[in-house]
Structure 1
Amino acid sequence: MKFDVMAPVVEPFTGAANAIRGVPGGGLPWEIDAARGELTSDGRVEVEVEGLVLARRAPVPEERQGTNPVPSFRVLVSCVSSSSGEPATVNVSTETAPATTTGDATIEGIVDLPSPCFAPIVFVTSPDGAWFAVTGR
């Protein structure tokens, strides 16, 4: 699966109230200039983001707008799979990769994809797992 666009976390997806497949959004809205990536069937994943920063608007405090306060990002892949014959969400993550204060990062790794892995969603998250960007528009 290749992609060349990701959507930043915005209201109402900030925080845990409207998590996507159990993945909470970052606590504030973000914005992103560019993204591209690839996920292969053997679990190899590479995502490059540019300008993934806190939104330049309220409710982000003015002094933090347009900055990335997080020193590293990771990639989380979410799949719909099955467990004991029942549908199940399976989330797997890479190790962290350094991110700049201007929100640029290249995250590469291998994740242990379940079989089957239906409807994969790729997130860029904090080290603690709150998402800042997700595949989609």
Structure 2
Amino acid sequence: MKNRLLSPLSSVILFLSAFLVGIMLSVLAVAQVAPPMAPAQPAAPAQPQPSAPGMAPAVLNILEFQTMAAVPRPFTGPMHAIRGVPGGGLPWVIATATGKLTTTGRLEITVTGLVLDPTDQAVMQAGTGGTNPIPNFVAIVSCMTKDAMGNAEMVNMMTVPFPATAAGNAKIEAQVELPKPCIAPIIFVGNPEPAPTGAWFATTGH
């Protein structure tokens, strides 16, 4: 029998077929060896990192608020004082308030429209509704804590006065020395008088 010689085209086709078969076998081998990929896990929320020994403790917010409650008629005067702080002598209203208190005692408060209640009968008779007659506001931070004997006690810390406009706008930035522990803190904005308690016009709340 005579040997048949392959044409050049047939040789090329045969070579390419063998080459492709080799690639497919290599891919299958790699797929069998490679470990399965684990499903992606959702990222864990960032947590405050503890301070290393010798480093200053992390500064955290004890309170951060976007609203305050103004003193209503039942809380005016000393009859229903909160933490020993009487309410202002007349009802007040407030437009906006934001603020925060940190673990280092940094206190920042911004109030707008903290004025005498224009709908209160006594305020209307005095003709002072919608105005602030007090030239300076203070902030009072009140904490429950324990004394040196381990007994429960209340500690109130008043800032220095900060200018307030007749429209009831003021910005307070102060440093207070917080007791340790500072339990159930309350923040007031009001009048430094009467001494030594002051009187509150607005407090943390809604």
Within a 5 Å distance, the mapping from 1:87-102 to structure 2 comes to 87-102=152-167
Larger CA Rg, structure 1 vs 2 = 2
Aligned ranges 1:54-69 → 2 under 5 Å: 54-57=116-119, 58-60=121-123, 61-69=125-133
1:79-128 alpha-carbon deviations (Å, 9 max, x no partner): 01011221111000111100000000001100111111001000001022
Q: Where in structure 1 are there 5+ consecutive unaligned residues? A: none
Name 2:43's counterpart in structure 1: none
Q: Kindly report the root-mean-square deviation, in angstroms, between the aligned alpha carbons of the 2 structures.
A: 0.8
- 1:41-64 C-alpha deviation (Å, 9 max, x unpaired): 111101000000000121213510
State the match for 2:65 in structure 1. Answer: 3
- 1:37 paired with 2:106, answer no
Structure 2 unaligned regions, length at least 5: 1-62
Q: What do residues 17-75 of structure 1 show as CA deviations (whole Å, max 9, x unaligned)?
A: 10000000000000000000010011110100000000012121351000000000011
Aligned partners of 2:93 and 2:178: how far apart in 1? 28
Letter of the 1:99 counterpart: A
Q: TM-score, normalised by structure 2?
A: 0.65
Partner of 1:12: 74
Q: Give distance in 2, aligned partners of 1:64 and 1:11.
A: 16
User: What is the Cα deviation at residue 11 of structure 1?
Assistant: 1.9
Q: Distance in 1 between matches of 2:85 and 2:192?
A: 12
Q: Percent identity?
A: 53
Partner in structure 1 of residue 87 of structure 2 = 25
Which of structure 1's runs of 4+ aligned residues deviate more than 3 A? none
Letter in 2 for 1:59: A
The whole-number CA distance in structure 2 between the counterparts of 1:86 and 1:71 is 38
* Larger relative strand fraction: 1
Q: TM-score, normalised by structure 1?
A: 0.97
